[in-house]
Structure 1
Amino acid sequence: MTQRVSRRSLLQATAATMGAAGLSTVQAAPAPFKPTWDSLADGYNTPEWFRDAKFGIWAHWGAQCVPEMGDWYGRRMYIQGNWQYDHHVKHYGHPTKFGFMEIQNLWKAENWNPDALLDLYVKAGAKYFVAMANHHDNLDAYNSKYHAWNTMRVGPKRDLIGGWEKATRARGLRFGVSNHGAHAWHWFQSAYGYDPEGPHAGQRYDAYRLTKADGKGKWWEGLDPQDLYTGRNIVMPDGFKTIRSVEAWHDHNTYYWDEKPPLQNPAFTRSWFLRCRDLIDSYKPDLVYMDNHGLPLGQAGLDIAAHYYNASMAWNGGKLEAVLNAKVLPSEWRSGVVEDVERGFRDGIEPLPWQTDTCLGDWHYARSLFDNHRYKPASTVIHRLCDIVSKNGNLLLSVPMRGDGTIDADEQKILGEIATWMARNGEAIYGTRPWRIFGEGPTKVGTGMFSENSSKPLTAEDIRFTTKGGALYAIALGWPKDGVLRIQTLAQDSHVVPGTIDRIEAVGSSDSLPFKRTRRGLEVRLPEGLAGSPAVALKIRGSGLV
């Protein structure tokens, strides 16, 4: 497959749209990549390690896991009328007195054992591991040189990224980090608001009133809350009297996905750049996931991308081994980074390698999903992996973690079931490339971001193809009712496969399976010992197959 497409004709409007952060990177060695989309798109090739790996696991773990109430707690606990606000008031106190910075300090990670977790993830078949370096709540989970609000001083009092990296590298996996902090400047503005109704009506929340001086004699002495909450960028005006009016104001003014730098707060952009460069230089990740549509914060994002690629070449003797993920890319930019499709699919084979990221549950730990046994089952994860790999993609799976650093019993069971399937069938996944078509079957999947919930479950009639080493792999996404797998694509005289089929084996076994090829399709009697498997992979050899 083609790995990159030349992008020499960049629109002139790009530079103006991305803005200028006034930031540059000094390189000690030749720097083939420049901080422009032209340079990224023309010079980048996806490294083979990523194309071969196919499956990664992600620890999307931060202080918002402490309440065990799911995603975006740090923002929504400040919006009266939201169920997470209600939970916060009931369990922690009112946000005028007990803000999210206090939740961050409750995050102790007291039972975190990265070695034990990585052992589970390796057994489950992961070939790379990604750890969240910061979220929109603006706390760095590493020994940050440029941001005092980090886990060396707050909460765990540990270098979490350093711990993850050591455990990952020790097991021979590629190591990645995810960066979500570029959105903090607007995402956190709810912390500057107030209740429109009730006994605290009109009283501003903690972010609005706290200064560095207020920390004297407290756990956060010497820290400035404004550095955490990012300053008064989009402050809710006085005078709202109803919950509905406040919700509408936030929806219109602060609930948006803006990648431009905040013009009124250039210090935020500079801080993000320095922190991200520090993260890259200190931990030398093989992959950096940007939670952004395109690259974040205008020119600052391009500066970081060029620095990362050039640094990777310096670390690896001139070989570019870096993967940079970004989302919702126009076609002319897709050869410059590896596009990520959050919780989504593609409907066909992509010419460039790509990635889906999804989660067993919510991104941040939600106790209700465990209590009600509502995680994605292992079969769903396996089916999505097979579909994505057949279309030239990788799957990055988040396993939610409790605030204390552990995963629950249901998650361990799911990982064990994935491990069992991957141990036998990984040959049909790792190191493979797409075939002439991705597959066949009646089930149509959605396409694009957040399409997984609108897609119907895949079935035994849905088959996905991969190739490697001269063999064709056909993976049925379920067990046929009569134990006979029928593949229409491989019918006799098929225009897709005009050659012969000489031998078929179940992956993980060297025994030849009986088959019959007619004009209606290829029929293969499957081993009864595989009955009930979430997916059955066959290895097919012959002439003209690949």
Structure 2
Amino acid sequence: MTPKLSRRSLLQATAATMGAAGLPVAQAAPSPFKPTWDSLIGGYRTPDWFRDAKFGIWAHWSAQCVPEAGDWYARHMYIQGSGQYDHHVKNYGHPTKVGFMEMNNRWKAENWDPEALMDLYAKAGAKYFVSLANHHDNFDAYDSKYHPWNSVRVGPKRDIVGTWAKAARARGLRFGVSNHSSHAWHWMQPAYAYDAEGPRAGQRYDAFNLTKADGKGKWWEGLDPQDLYTGRNMVRPDGITTAAAAAEWHERNDRIWNENPPAQNPAFTRQWFLRCRDLIDSYRPDLVYFDNFGLPLGQTGLDIAAHFYNASMAWHGGKLEAVLNAKELPHERRAGLVEDVERGQRAGIEPLPWQTDTCIGDWHYNRHFLEGHHYKSAASVVHRLVDIVSKNGNLLLSIPLRGDGTIDADERKVLDGLAAWMGRNGEAIHGTRPWRSFGEGPTQIGSGMFSENQVKGFTDQDIRFTTKAGALYAIGLAWPKNGVMRIAALAQDSALAPSMIERVEAVGSTDSLPFKRTPQGLEVKLPEGLAGTPAVALKVRGNGLA
């Protein structure tokens, strides 16, 4: 078990890492990267393993999955009038008495089988796996040296990140971690608030009053709730008398999303640095995902980025194998890391590799998706993957776990569907690069975060292209009515493909398919046995075609 650091010990531990303005700086062996944007942009190149992998699976798993009531539970359970507040009061008690810290104790992971799950993920075609290291709820799912609220000491009593890492690497998958905790200092502030109306109006929730001394004789003896809830950074004032007004106050004040360090709480920034550096040094991830618009916490994010890149080079004999994800980057900074587009895509081929992250349901497990059969289908995931890969991107897909560590029957069905399609067609995805054009067809794809639901469905004219080892892959996103795929980009006298087409095969088969080239397009008669597949991948060969 990790001993709790006293405030004095924490300050002593950070003293050696303090730089300008009292902020920590990375301590690493001399190497090319400095904690500046100019250094990151000038020295970074996306590693080939990431460009080849194309598809990763993410376990966005924490104590917020225990109630099975969806994402952001640790925040919304403190906002009177929300569905999660009602769920918490009904099932666990009022947040004046039963706060979110109690959910961490209820997270037992008692049926978690990481080996079996990783087998499913690998079979589904994932080439990298990402473990949630911490969320905005400020709980570390690893053996954290600097934060006692962690999964080895509380809840599962297991090193979640370390166990996932071992299972992933045993199957040849690259391993990553996601770190969301830099927003905890404002995101958890509703835990210090109160009901604005009703019989408990004005009574402050658990975080406002709890101290370390209150844990004597309880399961959390020796732990300080303020270390978890982050302290009183922007507490809702007294005097708000309606739930609607209270919710509006939180939306306006502490649901902010700026990446500056909290000026009134420098200890939070120092400890975040130590926790993140410990995460990187202890588990040596290939990928670190930051849920941030740019890098977190000002200069501290740059310090961590430089440390990660330099450490990766030290681990790999001078070769940079690190991928660092962040969001909403200005164009001039995108070369310094790999931009992530949450629940969104791109309209065309991007010059730099990028990543979409999405989930088949809510980020944290929500029983509603099982009961209503609302998950994304395997076919819709395939369509997203194909479109993203054709545009120089990767797809990171979250499969939500229940609090006990299991997935449900509908989620397994999605994974089985992915395995069936990727097992045959993965050649057209893994290791590929964009072609001269990403594709064709009438369906328009929006660009930017949270744009994925703009796409209602693809037609049999929607085709996407990838290329590898001299071959062109044309992937049709719907079955054509007459069983003939027409590829306009490969028509006679096409400027994109002026060379002769010699052979066409369905991926997964070596049989040559009948085709003809007309002014309207390359017309290929598809095997009837492929009817019903989510997408039909063809391998087209011709000298100079790719």
**TM-score of the two chains, using structure 1 as the length reference:** 0.96
**How far has the Cα of 1:445 moved from its partner?**
1.0
**How far has the Cα of 1:179 moved from its partner?**
0.2
| 1:360-381 alpha-carbon deviations (Å, 9 max, x no partner) | 1000000010011110000000
Bigger drift between 449-458 and 204-213 goes to 449-458
Q: d(CA) in 1 for partners of 2:459 and 2:93?
A: 48
**How far has the Cα of 1:25 moved from its partner?**
1.8
Partner of 1:275: 275
Partner of 1:469: 469
**How far has the Cα of 1:456 moved from its partner?**
2.4
State whether residues 37 and 302 of structure 1, in contact with CA within 8 Å, keep that contact through their aligned partners in structure 2: yes
- Count of residue pairs the alignment pairs up: 527
1:249 maps to 2:249: yes
Ranges in structure 1 where 5+ consecutive residues have no aligned partner? 1-18
Question: Which residue type is aligned with residue 24 of structure 2?
Answer: L
Q: d(CA) in 2 for partners of 1:543 and 1:519?
A: 20
Partner of 2:4: none
Question: Which residue type is aligned with residue 116 of structure 2?
Answer: A
Partner of 2:355: 355
1:151 maps to 2:154: no
**How far has the Cα of 1:20 moved from its partner?**
5.0
Partner of 1:4: none
State whether residues 21 and 269 of structure 1, in contact with CA within 8 Å, keep that contact through their aligned partners in structure 2: no
3-state DSSP of counterpart to 1:537: strand
Report the aligned-residue RMSD: 0.8
Q: d(CA) in 1 for partners of 2:21 and 2:533?
A: 54
State whether residues 20 and 300 of structure 1, in contact with CA within 8 Å, keep that contact through their aligned partners in structure 2: no
Question: Which residue type is aligned with residue 492 of structure 1?
Answer: Q
Q: d(CA) in 1 for partners of 2:463 and 2:197?
A: 56
Ranges in structure 2 where 5+ consecutive residues have no aligned partner? 1-19
Residue pairs, 1:405-420, within 5 angstroms: 405-420=405-420
Q: Which runs of 4+ in 1 moved over 6 A?
A: none
| 1:304-357 alpha-carbon deviations (Å, 9 max, x no partner) | 000000000000000000000000000111000100000001000000000000
| 1:253-278 alpha-carbon deviations (Å, 9 max, x no partner) | 01121111000000000110000000
State whether residues 444 and 456 of structure 1, in contact with CA within 8 Å, keep that contact through their aligned partners in structure 2: no
Residue pairs, 1:284-363, within 5 angstroms: 284-363=284-363
State whether residues 445 and 456 of structure 1, in contact with CA within 8 Å, keep that contact through their aligned partners in structure 2: no
Q: d(CA) in 1 for partners of 2:22 and 2:85?
A: 36
Q: d(CA) in 1 for partners of 2:404 and 2:228?
A: 22
3-state DSSP of counterpart to 2:168: helix
Residue pairs, 1:164-243, within 5 angstroms: 164-243=164-243
Residue pairs, 1:378-527, within 5 angstroms: 378-527=378-527
Question: Which residue type is aligned with residue 237 of structure 2?
Answer: P
Partner of 2:5: none
**How far has the Cα of 1:178 moved from its partner?**
0.3
**How far has the Cα of 1:31 moved from its partner?**
1.9
| 1:247-300 alpha-carbon deviations (Å, 9 max, x no partner) | 111111011211110000000001100000000000000000000000000011
Question: Which residue type is aligned with residue 422 of structure 1?
Answer: M
State whether residues 128 and 175 of structure 1, in contact with CA within 8 Å, keep that contact through their aligned partners in structure 2: yes
Q: d(CA) in 1 for partners of 2:204 and 2:279?
A: 34
Question: Which residue type is aligned with residue 246 of structure 2?
Answer: V
Identical-pair percentage: 74
Partner of 1:25: 26
State whether residues 107 and 404 of structure 1, in contact with CA within 8 Å, keep that contact through their aligned partners in structure 2: yes
3-state DSSP of counterpart to 2:501: strand
Q: d(CA) in 2 for partners of 1:286 and 1:244?
A: 44
Question: Which residue type is aligned with residue 222 of structure 2?
Answer: G
1:376 maps to 2:376: yes
Q: d(CA) in 1 for partners of 2:179 and 2:148?
A: 17
**How far has the Cα of 1:416 moved from its partner?**
0.5
Partner of 2:535: 535
State whether residues 233 and 264 of structure 1, in contact with CA within 8 Å, keep that contact through their aligned partners in structure 2: yes
Q: d(CA) in 2 for partners of 1:236 and 1:161?
A: 35
Q: d(CA) in 2 for partners of 1:459 and 1:195?
A: 51
| 1:57-100 alpha-carbon deviations (Å, 9 max, x no partner) | 00000000000000000000001111110110011000000000
State whether residues 439 and 464 of structure 1, in contact with CA within 8 Å, keep that contact through their aligned partners in structure 2: yes
Question: Which residue type is aligned with residue 119 of structure 1?
Answer: D
State whether residues 144 and 278 of structure 1, in contact with CA within 8 Å, keep that contact through their aligned partners in structure 2: yes
Q: d(CA) in 1 for partners of 2:460 and 2:105?
A: 48
State whether residues 151 and 160 of structure 1, in contact with CA within 8 Å, keep that contact through their aligned partners in structure 2: yes
Question: Which residue type is aligned with residue 402 of structure 1?
Answer: R
Question: Which residue type is aligned with residue 390 of structure 2?
Answer: S
Partner of 2:13: none
State whether residues 140 and 149 of structure 1, in contact with CA within 8 Å, keep that contact through their aligned partners in structure 2: yes
* Structure-2 change in CA distance of 1:21 and 1:420 (3 Å): farther
3-state DSSP of counterpart to 1:473: strand
Partner of 2:9: none
State whether residues 124 and 415 of structure 1, in contact with CA within 8 Å, keep that contact through their aligned partners in structure 2: yes
Question: Which residue type is aligned with residue 401 of structure 2?
Answer: M
**How far has the Cα of 1:459 moved from its partner?**
2.6
Question: Which residue type is aligned with residue 124 of structure 2?
Answer: A
Q: d(CA) in 2 for partners of 1:245 and 1:287?
A: 41
3-state DSSP of counterpart to 1:280: helix
Q: d(CA) in 2 for partners of 1:377 and 1:152?
A: 35
Q: d(CA) in 1 for partners of 2:506 and 2:455?
A: 28
Q: d(CA) in 1 for partners of 2:334 and 2:505?
A: 38
Q: d(CA) in 2 for partners of 1:21 and 1:382?
A: 48
Q: d(CA) in 1 for partners of 2:334 and 2:166?
A: 31
Question: Which residue type is aligned with residue 101 of structure 1?
Answer: M
3-state DSSP of counterpart to 1:543: coil
State whether residues 75 and 187 of structure 1, in contact with CA within 8 Å, keep that contact through their aligned partners in structure 2: yes
**How far has the Cα of 1:460 moved from its partner?**
2.3
**How far has the Cα of 1:455 moved from its partner?**
2.1
Q: d(CA) in 2 for partners of 1:360 and 1:419?
A: 15
1:75 maps to 2:81: no
